[in-house]
Amino acid sequence: MSILGIHHITAMSGDPQCNVDFYAGLLGLRLVKVTVNQDDPGTYHLYYGDGAGTPGSILTFFPWPQAFHGRNGIFAVGAMAFTVRPGSLAYWEERLIKAEVPTMRSVRFGESVLHLTDPDGLNIELIESAPDPRFVPHVSDVPAEYALLGFHSATEWLKNLPQPEAFLTERWGCRRVGEEDGRVRLAVQEGRPHQLIDLTTPNLEATKTGPGAVHHIAFRVADAEQELLARNEALAFGLQPTEPIDRFYFKSVYFRSPGSVLYEIATDGPGWTVDEAPDALAHKLVLPPWLEERRPQIELRLPKIRTPHGVTLP
């Protein structure tokens, strides 16, 4: 069984246009897929990533413009960090200040961190670190040398550490590589960016579902065979994973971790190009085949958004 790192993180947002403008506009990520929440097809599912939509760079959102605001708290991913090249934070501070986005600096495990929140209050971090060569810059008004290059790490906010850490180390091959200020860092594989998980126990209430909160974190596996092996390890630890679910772009298994964080195991393939050409990703609203016959009704329920390509959807 081989967990390869973070596959994607899914969060909830409010207004979808505001979300597109912030992540594809201000942060310069590539909008790689505009589809719908397969469990709630009246809701968009927006995917962002690096220039190629590489697994390990993907941040996705369910926009709920009419929902009550969520709350960051324990039993969830409380912050997600993107990798930027060393020397990039001054550029990002200036860019974010011009956009009236407050920032704060810190140092964590010897690396410089820039903290910010998105328009819905989601905690985002930019960490200066040598990037994983798998990730490629997206061509935008952010210069390539300052581009966000995949996830660096994710921070789980938990009530207790022992059982969540035991599952990740004993069953999924993670190892403890650092401890600092009450934060435990785990690494899988080579411990490169997107292969790091931090565990903390802040004195907070439980997370509340809604815009500004993380829905789940997905971990990468190469294929369906590795996914079943990872699922079996969860079963052996006494957890309750679902059967594999076909999400069209990847296969998924879901379960609550020992820390009550919603985990997903996601395969690297088949990928985003099963229904769009690599140079035309997110140029239209795409639906999985089993929802295509409902397209007219689905499109009536979706608010209009304008993509970075100048296309108005749906």
CB-based burial, 171-197: b 16+ in 10 Å, e otherwise: bbbbeeeeeeeeebbbbbeeebbbbbb
Bridging pattern class, strands 196-200 and 250-256: unpaired
Dihedral angle of Cα 276, 54, 143, 78, to the nearest 10 degrees:
120
Within 10 Å of residue 82's Cβ, how many Cβ atoms? 26
Domain containing 307: what range? 5-313
Asked whether the whole model's pTM tops 0.85, one would answer: yes
pLDDT at position 261 is 99
β-pairing, 214-221 with 262-270?
parallel
pLDDT for res 302: 98
* 24 phi and psi angles, rounded to 5 deg: -85, -30
**Distance (Å, whole) CA 74 – CA 156:** 8
pLDDT confidence of residue 139: 92
Structure tokens at 148: 């966000």
Number of domains in the chain: 1
Q: Rounded mean pLDDT of 282-294?
A: 97
Q: What is the mean pLDDT of residues 209-238?
A: 98
pLDDT (tens digit per residue) in 181-222: 999 999 999 999 999 999 999 999 999 999 999 999 999 999
Q: What is the pLDDT of residue 255?
A: 99
Average pLDDT of the chain, as a whole number: 97
The tens digit of pLDDT for each residue in 63-120 reads 999 889 999 999 999 999 999 999 999 999 999 999 999 999 999 999 999 999 999 9
Q: Which amino acid makes up residue 46? A: L
277 burial type by CB count under 10 A (0-12 exposed, 13-18 middle, 19+ buried): exposed
Residue 127 has a pLDDT of 99
d(CA 278, CA 258): 38
- Quick one: which of 28, 3, 23 has its CA closest to 13? 23
With a cut of 80, say whether residue 1 has pLDDT above it: no
Q: How confident is the model at residue 54 (pLDDT cuts 50, 70, 90)?
A: very high
* CA distances to 209, 215, 238, 286 from 21, in Å: 23, 21, 42, 20
At 101, list the tokens. Answer: 């986005």
Helix H or strand E segment including 229: helix 224-236
Q: What is the pLDDT of residue 266?
A: 99
Cis peptide preceding 314, ω within 30 of 0: yes
- How far apart, in whole angstroms, are the C-alpha atoms of residue 13 and residue 70? 9
Condensed to tens digits (0 to 9), the pLDDT of residues 255-276 reads 999 999 999 999 999 999 999 9
SS3 136: coil
For 108-162, how does the pLDDT look when each residue is reduced to its tens digit (9 = 90+)?
Answer: 999 999 999 999 999 999 999 998 999 999 999 999 999 999 999 999 999 999 9
Q: Give the tens place of pLDDT for each residue, 3-41.
A: 999 999 999 999 999 999 999 999 999 999 999 999 999
Rg over CA atoms, the chain: 18
Q: How confident is the model at residue 227 (pLDDT cuts 50, 70, 90)?
A: very high
**CATH code for position 235:** 3.10.180.10
Q: What is the mean pLDDT of residues 272-293?
A: 96
List CB contacts of 166: < 8 A, sequence separation 6 or more. 258
